Structure 1
Amino acid sequence: MTSQQNELKQELNNLTPDSFQPALDSGLADKEKIAAPSLNFFQDSWRRLKKNKAAVVCLFILLFIIAACASAKLISPHDPNKQTVAYSNLPPRIPGININGLNGTAKVGDKRVDKYAQRNVPKDVNYFFGTDGLGRDLFSRILAGTSVSLLIAFIAALFDLTIGVTYGLISGMKGGRVDNVMQRFLEILSGIPNLVVVILMLLILEPGIMSIVLALAITGWISMARVVRAQTLKLKNQEYILAARTLGESSFKIAIKHLIPNLSGVIIIQTMFTIPAAIFFEAFLSFIGIGIPAPQASLGTLLSDGYKTFRFLPHLMWYPAAVICILMISFNLLADGLRDAFDPKMKD
């Protein structure tokens, strides 16, 4: 035995229980600390969405517009349907802003004239977006018209979430002959143009929100049903679905507990694309005169009234056109952001 081995043996013999000290708790806590917080699916999706600045900005713009439309009766400075012919075709005037186009003046020939002074409009009466040919406040009518357009759009989204999701789930889960019959029925419905459905509705009902809603109820949910069916066919053969069937779970419970939570991202994204399509559909119908009837306002009727005098009174068309453009762009950019946020394969 060498001298080093003798020294090591002697040191081991000299060890006592007092030679050992417990490790500090702080050191163990630092080693076992989880660096990143545990996030569920929606929290992780919100984290991804916040990285898309354009989508977040569009989200706040839409929330502002929806809040303004919800409180339209409270913040509207005038009655949207009240006619004051003496104040017809007034340009916009915003108090405290002395900019041509926003100060109540208009160019007549080579001179700029104060239209409000010519019509003897009181100093405390202002029309932020001007007035139309019947003296109705354009700002108040845009608020009312946007409320109608958003109402129709959200009803279309409700049809997607009820009829479309239910139809797609049943078709995808049943499969076989049931799925074949249901898909052939969808193909028949999708072959009928929406405009034809609306015209048929006009033979039964008067033009208005009800006829547009019924047209959307007949054909508006088809895209959602097809998307949900395709995803259901993909998910129903996954291991956790087969395990639930083996344990005796009913098809209804499997759809509620397993399929719908896993389809939530696809459903939300498809719904966000449905809303701007419904807004454009309503605006198109009102623009050609078979949508919302007068004197009720919508974005389509405002555009239809404004384009007729666009060369002489451009503000009557610019403002409703700007609102519908903001709505369409915001909903589409937000939908793109949600699609990226709900995609689990997307890398940060």
Structure 2
Amino acid sequence: MSNENHSVADETIKISPDMFERATGAQKEDSEKIAAPSLSFLQDSWRRLKKNKAAVLSLIVLILMMLASVAAPILAPRDPNAQVIQHANLPPKIPGVDINGLNGTSVAGTTRVDKYEQQNVPDDVYYFLGTDSLGRDLLSRILYGTRVSLLIAFVAALFDLTIGVTYGLVSGWYGGRVDNVMQRILEIISGVPNLVVVILMLLVLNPGITSIIIALAITGWISMARVVRAQTLKLKNQEYILAARALGESPVQIALKHLIPNLSGVIIIQTMFSIPSAIFFEAFLSFIGIGIPAPTASLGTLINDGYKTFRFLPHLMWYPAGVICVLMIAFNLLADGLRDAFDPKMKD
């Protein structure tokens, strides 16, 4: 039995030269070809982001809303501040639509009446989202109000990118006593509520966009500075940073060529979260009456005007509240998607 097994083993390991053939040039190229395409960091991040359907949908919604707000002078059917008292408190009416709430009718007591007919509105005059108590077109005011709110939000984001990133880089790079002093300054500034800063601004400036922007510029960049400082403390001892310092590069060159590119993901994500916060802050100030003054429209002022007559004219509050909700949700979903896309440890 052992001899038979030995002979079988000899037969199985017998290899002849005829079993091999020389590989051609084409076969060598195929074996060494990389199957996946070479992607940069941004290309790979975009590939990850496209897999997040909620983030892509939010990006599309935000682009459309931004384009609509920028083109407000073209898209708005009327002057947002033009008052037509004869057309006050009209419900929405869309031509060709016979749905309650969109056909110009409203409930008066127990019956539904045509408000446009009651107020002798011409047949060719429509208000797609209705009018307010002064006869101003709500759609036009929402378009212009969204424009103002987004302007304030993006200016606040600009301050985050300039003041916050610079402050965080300097604090994290130098460390030691410089970092200690700069962080104590941050704690003092963050200890003052934003509302107090705005009220102090009103003592010097008139209520409006300028005072809100200055208030956000004073306190809004603190979170960005802390995040950038923490990441800088972690990155400044990496090998490529030490090599750049050994080669004689200045701190400014290191920050521009090495630190900021590696912090770009964190900076973009933090910026995306700061924009909805600024929108909500402006809406809150305008709602309590110390934000954008009349007759300028913003989402906060429109909600403030609408909630007073919410029981009788709910559309005056629902539409601007819906716009601000869509903005907040879309920015937060996009920020979540960007956070996952910029994370290289995220599994596909």
Alignment-derived partner of residue 95 in structure 1: 95
Alignment-derived partner of residue 34 in structure 1: 34
Question: Is residue 287 of structure 2 the alignment partner of residue 287 of structure 1?
Answer: yes
What is the deviation of 1:43? 0.6
Uncovered stretches (5+) of structure 1, i.e. residues with no partner: 1-11, 13-20
CA distance in 1, matches of 2:239, 2:63: 40
Q: What secondary structure does 1:311 align onto? A: coil
Alignment-derived partner of residue 238 in structure 2: 238
CA distance in 1, matches of 2:204, 2:28: 76
CA offsets 1:50-75 (integer angstroms, 9 cap, x no match)? 11111110000000000000000001
Percent identity for Structure 1 against Structure 2: 77
Alignment-derived partner of residue 179 in structure 1: 179
Alignment-derived partner of residue 14 in structure 2: none
Question: Is residue 78 of structure 2 the alignment partner of residue 74 of structure 1?
Answer: no
Alignment-derived partner of residue 116 in structure 1: 116
Uncovered stretches (5+) of structure 2, i.e. residues with no partner: 1-16
CA distance in 1, matches of 2:140, 2:29: 61
CA offsets 1:6-39 (integer angstroms, 9 cap, x no match)? xxxxxx9xxxxxxxx9854443332222110011
Q: What secondary structure does 1:112 align onto? A: strand
- For the aligned residue pairs, the C-alpha RMSD in angstroms reads 1.6
CA distance in 2, matches of 1:174, 1:33: 46
Q: What secondary structure does 1:338 align onto? A: helix
CA distance in 2, matches of 1:97, 1:26: 66
CA distance in 1, matches of 2:94, 2:162: 44
CA distance in 1, matches of 2:327, 2:60: 12
CA distance in 2, matches of 1:121, 1:95: 14
CA offsets 1:125-149 (integer angstroms, 9 cap, x no match)? 1111100000000000000001000
What is the deviation of 1:237? 0.3
Matches within 5 A, 1:39-188: 39-188=39-188
CA distance in 1, matches of 2:28, 2:220: 59
Q: What secondary structure does 2:112 align onto? A: strand
Alignment-derived partner of residue 8 in structure 1: none
CA distance in 1, matches of 2:96, 2:61: 25
Alignment-derived partner of residue 256 in structure 1: 256
CA distance in 1, matches of 2:55, 2:207: 35
**Which amino acid letter does the alignment assign opposite residue 323 of structure 1?**
V
Structure 1 residues 110-119 or 292-301, which shifts more? 110-119
What is the deviation of 1:121? 1.6
What is the deviation of 1:271? 0.1
**Which amino acid letter does the alignment assign opposite residue 233 of structure 1?**
L
Alignment-derived partner of residue 227 in structure 1: 227
CA offsets 1:219-274 (integer angstroms, 9 cap, x no match)? 00000000000000000000000000001010000000000000000000000000
CA offsets 1:137-186 (integer angstroms, 9 cap, x no match)? 00000000010000000000000000000000000001111111100000
CA offsets 1:64-119 (integer angstroms, 9 cap, x no match)? 00000000000100100000000000000111211100011111122211111122
CA distance in 2, matches of 1:249, 1:92: 64
Question: Is residue 212 of structure 2 the alignment partner of residue 212 of structure 1?
Answer: yes
**Which amino acid letter does the alignment assign opposite residue 277 of structure 1?**
S
TM-score (normalizing by structure 1): 0.93
